[in-house]
Amino acid sequence: MTAAYVALEGGHVIEGRGRSPGTARGELVFTTAYTGYEESLTDPSYEEQVLTFSYPLIGNYGVREERFEDDRVHPRAVLAKELTRDVAEWLESEGVPSIDHLDTREIVIDIRDGGAMKCGIAVGDDVTEEDALAELDRCKTMSEHTDIGAQVSVEKPTIHGADNGGPDVALVDCGAKGSIVDSLLEREATVHVLPYDTSVEAIDDIDPDVLFISNGPGDPTNYENAISLVREFVEDTPVAGICLGQQIVAEALEGTTEKMTFGHRGINQPVLDLESGRVVMTTQNHGYTVADPGDHLEITQVNVNDDTPEGLDGLEYDVITRQYHPEANPGPEDTLDFFDDVLGMTDSQTTAAVPADD
């Protein structure tokens, strides 16, 4: 059996069965999703993380490329109770270490009680516990990855649906899932996918009907350029955001964000709409949340489990954000109407003063 070790923050080392070789380090997190492993593993929001699946068997319906959210696997390593050969071989082809025959219940409890933590991974015929501990010593916290957007964003602008004839959406790519673009294209929008550090001038040239801030990995306060873009355009252009995008919008409009203990990751997160009283099931993947929306945004939806903000609307201008993934890949389709609401903002724009910088 191929040797495999997981070194946890604090120095505890767990031994498992190596399925794909290599060394890695990252923030150890877990997902409660029991399907959608292909979508999860290709979600850019998992960049610089080690993903633990709480469901015991991962891979029982194979690996299909049409389900991918991006063109590569993003977690630095993968842990599971049992991985099928298909998934293990896929991860090996991607150069991503993986380990199974682990008590993932114990790992999830450790994360739940102690929070997401740094870890080191070593898998291979000749590796030792010391190799995993050496990776742990080199591991950074998520907030220390100050330019993580560069690892997941497009390098050059791209246009999708140029002949659609619908609204122009400027999508600032901080690690956007492919299904976000697909959801907008299905509604006949033209989607301009822009680098996370795109310029004001590039967006001015598009003259978009909506400025859309995508999901992505890491600490929202490190996305200073995207925060500045929201401040620049919110007076005249409707603004939307998903996941990290909600946090960036809040930071831009005088709100605050904070790191969660272990985050929300799974396809079974209940969200309450405060106006209608309706509860929907949602797909989520985030480790930060809006702590205070400030005076320019109102909370419209909350997580039933812990009351964290799941939806924000602008009080004086056209802003709508969601902390979860309404595009529903993987997971339920309860919230697809979010994209209709986003494009609906293009029909009646409002104007308001931009909050002044301190």
Does residue 26 have a known ligand-binding role? no
Query: Is 287 among the annotated ligand-binding positions?
Result: yes
How far is Cα 31 from Cα 279, in angstroms, rounded to an integer? 21
Catalytic, out of 74, 145, 264, 325 = 325
Q: Which phi and psi (to 5°) does residue 135 adopt?
A: -65, -40
- Taking residue 207's Cβ as centre, other Cβ atoms within 10 Å add up to 10
| C-alpha to C-alpha distance for 318 and 314, rounded to whole angstroms | 6
Distance CA 136, CA 146 (A): 19
Q: H helices of the chain, where?
A: 37-41, 85-93, 104-114, 129-137, 149-152, 178-185, 200-206, 224-233, 244-252, 337-344
CA gap 264, 287 in Å, rounded: 7
Active-site annotation holds for 243: yes
Residue type for 182, please?
D
| Segments of the chain assigned E as strands | 3-8, 13-20, 22-31, 49-53, 57-58, 77-79, 82-83, 98-100, 117-124, 158-160, 168-173, 190-195, 210-213, 239-242, 256-273, 279-292, 297-303, 309-314, 319-322
- In whole angstroms, give the CA distance from residue 230 to residue 237: 9
What six digits make up the tokens of 25? Answer: 């380090």
Tell me whether residue 244 is annotated as binding.
Answer: yes
Is 216 marked as binding a ligand? Answer: yes
Please give the DSSP secondary-structure letter assigned to residue 87.
H
Residue 236 · residue 349 · CB < 8 Å: yes
Whether the CB-CB separation of 29 and 49 falls below 8 Å is answered with: yes
The catalytic position among 39, 47, 135, 327 is 327
247 assigned ligand-binding residue: yes
What φ, ψ does residue 128 adopt, rounded to 5°?
Answer: -130, 175
Does residue 325 carry a catalytic annotation? yes
Find the catalytic residue in 69, 192, 243, 296: 243
Backbone angles phi, psi at 204, to 5 degrees: -60, -40
Is residue 59 part of an annotated ligand binding site? no
- Told to judge if 327 belongs to the known catalytic residues of this protein, a careful annotator would answer yes
Q: In 3-state terms, what secondary structure has residue 77?
A: strand
Q: Residues comprising the binding site for L-glutamine?
A: 45, 216, 218, 244, 247, 285, 287-288
Give the catalytic positions in this structure: 243, 325, 327
Q: Residues comprising the binding site?
A: 45, 216, 218, 244, 247, 285, 287-288
